[in-house]
Amino acid sequence: MVFAYRPLFLAFVASRPHSRTTMTELRASAASSLLPQLTNDDGATAIGSELVDERVKNKRVALYFAAGWCPMCTSFEPALLKFREEAAKSGKPIELIYVSSDRSEESQSSRAASLGMLSIPREETADVKRKYKIWAGSERGELGSDRRSGVPALVVLDNAGKEMSFVAAESQGAKSLETWPMDDEQGIWLA
């Protein structure tokens, strides 16, 4: 399991945005058990394990570390979204999971929706950032200075939920997407 702190059960929430029901125990299935709790691409509604599994099935998965206030992130994103579109057209679809450095939950929700990405809930992003040592410079006070990269950056996950590749978008920009191991079958999630 990628995240030791993550429970084996996921929260199920109503289909209405911003409306959480009480915790319902749902057995986490293959792919979803390797990922932290996720929110839908509206950025607010937590999704259950079956929906996570369906969303990542037969795709390559990456964590996308970014922020809407970051000019490097917003200038990188057109290339990233085009890369996602071209990957789908070539039969190698990808699923990007947004790890936000936005300054508010509203900003995070808005960004996830505009990018069409699942996202890590705000209360869990610090743990994910520490695990992969990626965060914005403005977060050094909270997370420290022992990071390998700022934002934007991607961590490509293999189908066991482990880091397969680091895409150094902060230092290399759109060119960094060429380092994504698209042909490695270990990167295809079989949910």
Task: Let me know if 2 is exposed, middle or buried by CB neighbors in 10 A (0-12, 13-18, 19+).
Answer: middle
| Percent of the chain with pLDDT strictly greater than 90 | 63
65: which DSSP letter?
E
Q: Is the pLDDT of residue 24 over 90?
A: no
Global pTM reads 0.79
pLDDT tens digits for 173-191?
A: 999 999 999 999 999 988 6
Provide the 10 A C-beta neighbour count for residue 145: 8
122-152 tens-digit pLDDT? 989 999 999 999 999 999 999 999 999 999 9
Domains of the chain: 32-189 (3.40.30.10)
Residue 31's pLDDT is what?
Answer: 58
pLDDT of residue 18: 33
Please give the average per-residue pLDDT across 68-89, as a whole number: 98
pLDDT exceeds cutoff 50 at 112: yes
**124 or 25: which leads in pLDDT:** 124
Q: How far is CA 127 from CA 120, 122, 135, 142, in A?
A: 10, 10, 11, 11
Q: What percent of the chain has pLDDT over 70?
A: 75
Q: How far apart are CA 124 and CA 69, in angstroms?
A: 20
- Residue 182's SS3 state is coil
Instruction: Give the DSSP letter string of 89-154.
Output: HTT--EEEEEEE--SSHHHHHHHHHHHT-EE--GGGHHHHHHHHTB--GGGHHHH-S--SB-SSEE
Of 152, 101, 154, 158, nearest in space to 125 by CA: 101
Lowest mean pLDDT among 12-21, 28-37, 160-169: 12-21
Does the pLDDT at position 53 exceed 90?
A: no
| 143 Cβ contact partners less than 8 Å away, ≥ 6 residues apart | 126, 129, 130, 135
